[in-house]
Amino acid sequence: MIDILLGLLWPQKGEIVVDDVKVDLDNLRMWQKNIGYVSQHIYLSDDTIARNIAFGVLDDEIDQQAVIHAAKLANIHDFVTTELPDSYETEVGERGVRLSGGQRQRIGIARALYNNPSILVFDEATSALDGITEDAILEAIHNLMHKKTIIIIAHRLSTVKECDEIFMLEKGQIASRGTYQELLSGDSQFRKMARAYDRGESL
């Protein structure tokens, strides 16, 4: 579904409609420019923090203010400026080896925010993180609420607890939808998942 929303796959039937406008081959690139994407595994090149945030942008075209703004929204700016030896010019090492998983993930969020997209997609972006690190990432996501349209794909219920609307999918179909509390009170399957999650069982 997310590949279809991102325009990487084309629907075999049905259509994507955004604000009453159908997404087609003529406006696909315009639609994609509105989207920032954060995956489960963030690729970092053996380069500086700034270049990893402005990934793919030529050196003389990097907007340093946009880099800093994106880092602040992603809750990584203070770490970069107070704990790294060369601030935004610090080299991260191959695949970001000098950074923790949570720090790499927040750089991934900053990268997604660099071009100021109106929509952010988090694709299992916290699933590989421990609980404490996930909380830091969720704080960064919560900072963006009501500033961006945020689409979160997750199996951890803690990740979607604050969402305005949750869609439960089963076999490619929407099985249920609502807020966390609405699903908790009105959907037995969701309630069962929530209880299992609270007990620390895998879903």
Report the catalytic residues: 124
Determine the distance from the C-alpha atom of residue 148 to the mean position of all C-alpha atoms in its chain, rounded to a whole number. 11
Phi, psi (deg, nearest 5) at residue 137: -70, -40
Calpha distance 71→91 (Å, rounded): 16
Q: Are strands 149-153 and 119-123 parallel, antiparallel or unpaired?
A: parallel
Calpha distance 198→79 (Å, rounded): 31
The 3-state DSSP class for residue 166 equals strand
Calpha distance 197→203 (Å, rounded): 7
Calpha distance 171→166 (Å, rounded): 16
CA geometry: angle 150, 91, 66, nearest 5 deg: 40
The 3-state DSSP class for residue 56 equals coil
110 in Cβ contact with 73 (< 8 Å): yes
The alpha helices in the chain, defined as continuous H runs, are 2-5, 28-32, 49-53, 64-73, 77-83, 101-113, 131-144, 157-160, 180-186, 188-198
